Amino acid sequence: MLQLHYLPAGALAQAAPSASFPLFGVACFGPQTQGDMSPTAPPVAWVQLEPPAGEPALCEAWSTQGPLQRGQHGRVQWCGNAGLLFGAVQVHERALAQAETVPPLQEAARVAYAELFGALDGLGYPHLLRVWNHVPDINGMSHGLERYRLFNIGRQDAFLANGRNVVGASVPAASALGAAANAPLLVYCIASRQPAAAIENPRQLSAYDYPQDYGPRSPTFSRASLVSFGSQRLLFISGTASIVGHRTLHAGDVAEQTRETLRNIDAVLQQAQARGAAGMTLADLHYKVYVRHAADWPVIRAELQRAAGAAVRVIALQADVCRMDLLVEIEATGLQPTSQGTS
């Protein structure tokens, strides 16, 4: 059983770590307010992003059944149970040994993923289900390329060097967002002992098939991943935007971009429903919304509430999105009980 809680940072200590569902991994947003956690605490990914004004600073807290094991493998902090692993890795571009020929962000992406794959293979959770990527100054330029494009080169190199496919059913779901220019590259993930099934969106070209207009190497992510875990079905819907085919639609119109994004999420959900997640609806999902301009949040929230209900569970963050003309990116997670089993 995997649970997802959206909690204020101050509530982490009391609320989630019940004896039966201890915390397994946490993402917190904003400036780091705690120092090193105790050795028994779960890994915490500190993402240097803020909520729009008036929104609470919530953490994304994952809990699951124990017994849990935790540790550090290279730069990777991890926590795992019988089936799943939460991992987080940070790489500072400026701390890398200067490779003369490779741009530091590209190298940071390669190193982060190489260390992640090393940890996953060493610990026996080889299947990457879901990845969150926070790329410092994602729309800035380095070495003549947009930094997101450099990140894509390093990520794809690491997938190939570590025996992973960069197209097809084993490609993980992901989100890719900006972070402060002085932040490290931060990658956190959920991995599994069992393979998941990637889901693509019939309205969109698979990102791994994007043409070269979007960079020399395609991004390595699927539109969603779906896996059975104990008595649950886990659905991880990737960061989703106003893209149809491979083109951005509705440049400059945040309400239309949000509606297009929600149509894309609904299309991915329909694919998941056809593959076993029958009955899962938009109202059942947990959302994270990345807003390029914080002032757009009320418009986006109204559209999300129209689609997913007024009580929608959501974390909103101001962040740069990986194409300059995208104003919003929305990801979603569904954790659906199935009828039998108790693990």
Catalytic residue list: 329
Q: Which are the contacts of 81, defined by CB distance < 8 A and separation ≥ 6? A: 24, 64, 65, 66, 67, 68, 69
Tokens of 238: 């990737």
Pick the binder of ligand 3EB from 83, 136, 239, 334 (CB under 6 A). 239
Nearest to 208 by CA among 163, 178, 238: 238
Burial class (CB in 10 A: 0-12, 13-18, 19+), 216: exposed
Size, binding site for ligand 3EB by CB under 6 A = 13
Would you tell me how many other CB atoms lie within 10 Å of the CB of residue 59? 24
Query: Using CB under 6 A as the criterion, what x/- string covers residues 175-214 for binding ligand 3EB?
Result: xx------------------------------x-------
Q: Which is nearer to ligand 3EB, 76 or 330 (CB)?
A: 330
If phi > 0 it is left, if psi is from -120 to 50 it is alpha, else beta; for residue 143 that is left
How far is Cα 77 from Cα 90, in angstroms, rounded to an integer?
Answer: 9
Q: Which is nearer to ligand 3EB, 65 or 201 (CB)?
A: 201
111 near ligand 3EB, judged by CB under 6 A: no
Tokens of 61: 């807290």
Nearest to 283 by CA among 304, 258, 255, 303: 304
Bridge partners of 128, per DSSP, are: 191
Shortest CB 138 distance to ligand 3EB, Å: 10
Shortest CB 105 distance to ligand 3EB, Å: 14
Q: Which is nearer to ligand 3EB, 82 or 267 (CB)?
A: 267
Q: Which is nearer to ligand 3EB, 9 or 47 (CB)?
A: 47
How far is Cα 159 from Cα 60, in angstroms, rounded to an integer?
Answer: 26
Pick the binder of ligand 3EB from 221, 236, 287, 297 (CB under 6 A). 221
120 near ligand 3EB, judged by CB under 6 A: no
Shortest CB 339 distance to ligand 3EB, Å: 32
Shortest CB 225 distance to ligand 3EB, Å: 12
Query: Using CB under 6 A as the criterion, what x/- string covers residues 294-323 for binding ligand 3EB?
Result: ----------------------------x-
Query: Which residue stretch of 20-28, 80-88, 171-179, 252-260 sits at the interface with ligand 3EB (rule: CB under 6 A)?
Result: 171-179
How far is Cα 214 from Cα 27, in angstroms, rounded to an integer?
Answer: 29
Residues that bind ligand 3EB (CB under 6 A): 133, 174-176, 207, 219, 221, 238-239, 241, 243, 322, 329
